[in-house]
Amino acid sequence: MVERFNEDFIETRRRALHRFLNKIAEHPIFSSSEDFKIFLTDTTLTDGSSFNASMQTSPASMINQYKFEEDADTKDIFVTVDNPESHVTAIETYITYRVMTKTTRSEFDSSEFEVRRRYQDFLWLKGRLEEAHPTLIVHPLPEKFVVKGMVERFNEDFIETRRRALHRFLNKIAEHPIFSSSEDFKIFLTAASGELTSHKKQGPGFLSRMGDTVKAVAAAVRGVRNRPQEFTEMQEYVEAFSQKISSLDKVTQRIVREQKEYLEELKECGPTYALWSQSEEELAEPLKNVAGCVDRCCKETEEQVKNLSDQLIPVLHEYVLCADTLKAVLRRRDNIQADFEAKTEALATKKADRDTMRDDLDKAEDRLEWANNALKSDWTRWQKVMRTDLRSAFVDTAERNVSYYEKCLAVWESFLHSQRTDAEGNGKVDFS
């Protein structure tokens, strides 16, 4: 008890009580408690010192925002990306897409909006969401450039593939319980081009971004000493997921390329059989029938290749990009923890300016707590969405494969049936 009321003890207790009351003020339920209001206002319960319940709160006050609801049937923003248009200027050539939005949210001035956006605008939105919520998982955008080179950048297939990916990106944002309420997302959906350009200039400047990058690199070099086990397990899961989904993506793309080659060769068979029928009088009818069967199988194969290219490959490739996004999110979480650990060490080794350092440490601890809670909640949500997306893609592919082979089988069974009937009618041997 000798040291109970020395300066260090009193200051330590003051900070603890300060944080305690701020935590109550930040809580969505406790802050509305009648007891809390009486505690703050009744002079018989206080020593006369002032405490402002509306004082600026720490990042931890946002933790409750990340307790995501399980009910998925709450979507009230519907976005469509369509109608690509090419623009040619003296400086550049680019594509804009029409973005149409329908919503029932009261914070929007209208229920319907229509704007035009280019890829750079989508990229800006993604960056702003990541900046505001560094440990939430932003659905990836399609790559800026195609692998085959800039020669095919503006062909129809590339534009349509990008359009579908941008459409999916915006709808993933619209379905997210935090991102969908972002002011940047609202402005992206509603602002005229000039207004959006003006808003984009309000973001952090180049030097500020460079400063953040330097800090992130320094934190990465310093590393994290005591990463919680759950985040280590997340990292291991992401590494394994990345390897598997990348392999599956590469194999599927190779299968599609091989099926396209098979289709091109199959297309040559039909005309060959048709030409052959002109020089074989007795085999003319069967050869024509074979040519017809091959042509019908070509159409089914073409549809099958298109389905794989349009339905399965985009989903697989998006989750390849998602794996990279997850790695970046985990790195940002580690950077936040590394910053907290560095401040803890600095406070332990330095004597001067301890009060300021303690405040910085408290803020760093709040930020780490916020980051951890945000990531854990969004991780659970992401896994659920990922499994639903991939399961749906695999089931759809399986059903289309069955349908494809059944149709081709029916074509050839019909041919066999006709040949058996002809053979029996002519008194010839049935070659079944």
Give tens-digit pLDDT for 354-394.
777 778 888 899 999 999 999 999 999 999 999 999 999 99
81 and 53 together in one domain:
no
Establish if 64 belongs to a structural domain: no
- What is the distance between the alpha carbons of residues 170 and 160, in angstroms, rounded to a whole number? 16
- What is the distance between the alpha carbons of residues 233 and 376, in angstroms, rounded to a whole number? 12
Q: What is the per-residue pLDDT for 302? A: 95
Establish if 72 belongs to a structural domain: no
Number of domains in the chain: 3
* Cα→Cα distances 37→28, 44, 46, 80, Å: 14, 13, 12, 47
Q: What is the per-residue pLDDT for 160? A: 92
Q: CATH no. for residue 320? A: 1.20.1270.60
Establish if 4 belongs to a structural domain: no
Q: What is the per-residue pLDDT for 21? A: 76
161 and 266 together in one domain:
no
294 and 168 together in one domain:
no
Give tens-digit pLDDT for 91-108.
888 899 999 999 999 889
Establish if 223 belongs to a structural domain: no
176 and 270 together in one domain:
no
247 and 353 together in one domain:
yes
Contact 54, 36 (CB under 8 A): no
The residue from 149, 176, 207 where one domain ends is: 207
202 and 239 together in one domain:
no
The residue from 172, 207, 242 where one domain ends is: 207
43 and 95 together in one domain:
no
Q: Which residue shows structure tokens 């379905």?
A: 175
Opening angle at CA 77, ends 75 and 82, nearest 5 = 125
- What is the distance between the alpha carbons of residues 260 and 196, in angstroms, rounded to a whole number? 43
168 and 28 together in one domain:
no
Q: CATH no. for residue 125? A: 3.30.1520.10
Contact 174, 77 (CB under 8 A): yes
Establish if 395 belongs to a structural domain: yes
* Cα→Cα distances 53→32, 285, 358, 418, Å: 11, 91, 21, 87
174 and 117 together in one domain:
yes
253 and 138 together in one domain:
no
* Cα 159–chain centre separation: 20
Contact 116, 87 (CB under 8 A): no
Structural domain range at position 48: 22-57
43 and 184 together in one domain:
no
Sheet holding 112-118, edge to edge: 77-88, 93-103, 112-118
Model-wide pTM > 0.85 = no
**Spans of the chain, pLDDT less than 50:** 1-2, 45-72, 147-151, 206-211, 214, 217, 221, 429-432
116 and 245 together in one domain:
no
Establish if 430 belongs to a structural domain: no
Establish if 220 belongs to a structural domain: no
